[in-house]
Chains A and B, each alone.
Chain A
Amino acid sequence: MDTPVALVSTTHTICERCKQNPANHKLRTEKVCAQCFSVYITTKAIKRMETYRHRGPKTQASKKLLLPLSFGPCSTSLLYILNDHLQGQYDRMNRATYELIVVHINIFTTPKDREISFKRLQEFQSRFPRHCFRMINLEESLQVEDIDWNTIDTFLLPETRGQISPDVKLSQLIGSIVSPTSRAEMVSILFFRLLVSFGRKNNCESVLFGDSITKLAEKTLTVIARGNGSSLQWQVSDGLSPLGISCKYPLRDLNKKEIVAFSLLATPPLDGLIIRDDTTPMSSCEKPSTINDLMSQYFESVESNYPSIVANVVRTCGKLRTMTSQNSTPCGLCGLPFDNEMGTLSCDSGISSSHQPIQLPKHVSSFCRGCFKLVSNTQ
């Protein structure tokens, strides 16, 4: 029977892509059905994995890629997409061009939290059995040799004597930092250093982050607000990092809302696995206590009205050249190269000298501006 057109248009809209199913998802400017939405999201991510297509001799070994899993919707969605991608490769060509090592890093130190994380990781293992799952703890970053721990301990743990367990030491280290936003920064730096160190030990070629374009925009402004504009390229761009491992962001063409919507469409459902940190309108009224939270709230509000502006911020920073200077040395904490001459003014020494009268020049030269303030506890 031929349904009248007027009746169809008044009851529901048709998907603009396949023209068949009801359109219950909004895709930028289009109204699409659930299936076309999922295909769009998946295609955007797989497109970024083109470097791992089948190419060259068949005997070429698979590449190892590290996927940090936070149990959030973005990293879980990335794992779900790549799992299907690998399965498809194997079905068609009887081999895969890369293999995933999925790692979860425990930030919290209570045994109960770690037990919960371990069980959740086991559930992930059951759901995606072809991958290698590992769990490590943040205090293992204390053994990363590239970090200048001697100097950091001098600043932040001057009274500590003798042997203490790594988790207690890490707690004391972070606890001695005064401001909440500096503590959050220290945790994220150690997290990243540990991730890179773990990836290199396991011979991984790249780290695949599940960061959306929203997350990258937040990170961009956080880095700028930290005063580390010169190292911006290393922190939000795809490619080889100065730490000896590549960083890739396969979900960088998608914003967070789209990825969250995608994670709700997965079959079978991922709901039992994902930890959702849905922000209620009530919590958004709270004043953010860290720069990260502020940027998160800011871009969440910008994204709802102006999603392209969020993407444009990251795209704009991608056009900046990397600063390669003869004077650049790696920072003793974050490891990124910095130029000690760049942007240094007398105002800096004028301000900091009142806080650190015993400060020696050699300390300044081993940390970048942002990390030095972090380590010396000058807000």
Chain B
Amino acid sequence: MAPIPCAVCKDSRALIVRPKNHQKLCKNCFISVFEEEVHQTISTTKIFSPGERIAIGASGGKDSTVLASVLKTLNSKYNYGLELVLLSIDEGIKGYRDDSLETVKNNAIQYDMPLKIVGYDELYGWTMDQVVETIGKKGNCTYCGVFRRQALDRGAKMLGIKHVVTGHNADDLAETILMNLLRGDLSRLARSTNIMTGDDSSDVRRSKPLKYAYEKEIVLYAHHKKLEYFTTECIYSPEAFRGSARTLIKNLERIRPSAILDVVRSGEDMAKMVSEEASLFDHCRSQEGPQINEQGGEEDTGGCGGSNGRTSGGEMAEMEKLLVENEIASEREIDFTSEPIIVGEKSAKKLLQTSGAQPKKQSQPKVNRQKLGTCSKCGYMSSQQVCKACSLLEGLNKNRPKIEIEI
């Protein structure tokens, strides 16, 4: 069979079949098309402004490595005028994070970007090695996820930066959308589809420039540009159960590659259909009102290199138990709103007596609007009196002499 020419330039031989749409491209055109699509995402959503300082959440994994490389290329090619900084979080996992941070240090030299590393021990007085020693492997991912999310924001504040970009890709987003659907969480569904969360009134904004990029294409891009990245999975979750949403996404991609992007777009459309009570949907920067970033929320997905989409095994079982209990409770309700009842005087009295015996419950409880506040302990933003990280930290510190946390 004759070699297939590249679909774009028609000259070179096609070496790559794009996972996104099965387009056959040569190496140079693939790199160019990939970068161009990221640029289109950035320019159409206007997530950057000239002169802005941007912190790239860098883990050493493929997503953040590709993000740093692409942003550097586009920043010079299209004159974004951005000042790019690498920001890494050291969880304190010996044999894993120290090796991946070496990769980030090499990237910093290679891309000529400043690098800031913030450690858990520096912020919280605990490394993940110590956390696992205390509580064991089960549940430690929750601690790590909560800590990391806050640490990234606090690291950005140390640098005086108000905008953090992460390497979440289309696969991560599609997975998050399906997961929130299975959880029945409309608020989180609305927030997770936004390319940027938060605005000027928030401490730190988050953006996902690789939102429409496929994971497979990110790997191909890294490979053909010969980018160095770290691939080892977190050593504390080698047996973690892969979420069913992720398995479903991978199967979908096999049947129809464009389905991942279709899920993302459906998520965006559904986000607009969520009632305003359920979410403060910040579609553009000029819209009033801050976007709430819930602790341990939607952006836990896809962090920490290769540990994408890991969830605790019992999550669906707990959800099922809760829903069954809700259903049993709702069967005891008396529903007066199903249709208008025309009753005589005697019947009306009976109904009143009955309703007195069993107080009427709201069939659909009003979705509580979350309010942005600050933690009374560390000053970080939180919807509760004390933020999640401090709550977890308090539990850990009960078994240890008190250590002052400095910001």
Contacts and interface: CB of A to CB of B under 8 A. Distances in A.
B256 A312 contact: no
B255 A319 contact: no
Main secondary structure of the interface of B (DSSP, over half): helix
B76 interface: no
B23 interface: yes
B325 to A, nearest CB: 9
Nearest to B338: A50
B36 interface: yes
Interface string A299-338: 0001001111101110111011111000000000000000
A291 B23 contact: no
Interface residues of A, number: 55
Interface in B1-59: 7-8, 20-23, 36-37, 40-41, 44
A312 B248 contact: no
B273 A294 contact: no
A228 interface: yes
A229 B267 contact: yes
A354 interface: yes
A28 B326 CA distance: 13
B8 A323 contact: no
A225 B252 contact: yes
Given A309-B182, A309-B323, A323-B272, A227 B255 contact: no
B296 interface: no
B262 A226 contact: yes
A320 B270 contact: yes
Contacts, number: 158
Given A229-B267, A291-B259, A294-B248, A309 B320 contact: yes
A233 interface: yes
A316 B261 CA distance: 22
Among all A-B residue pairs, the 6 with the closest Cβ atoms: A229-B266, A227-B262, A308-B323, A230-B269, A229-B269, A306-B320
19 contacts: A225-B259, A225-B262, A225-B263, A227-B262, A229-B266, A229-B273, A289-B255, A291-B256, A294-B251, A298-B244, A306-B319, A308-B319, A309-B182, A316-B181, A317-B270, A320-B273, A321-B273, A342-B272, A370-B262
Interface of B: 7-8, 20-23, 36-37, 40-41, 44, 177-178, 181-182, 184-186, 212, 244, 248, 251-252, 254-259, 261-263, 265-270, 272-275, 278, 316-317, 319-320, 323-324, 327-328, 338-339, 364
Given A28-B324, A227-B265, A321-B275, 15 more contacts: A182-B256, A221-B178, A224-B262, A224-B266, A228-B266, A230-B273, A232-B273, A294-B255, A302-B316, A317-B270, A320-B270, A342-B272, A343-B268, A343-B269, A379-B257
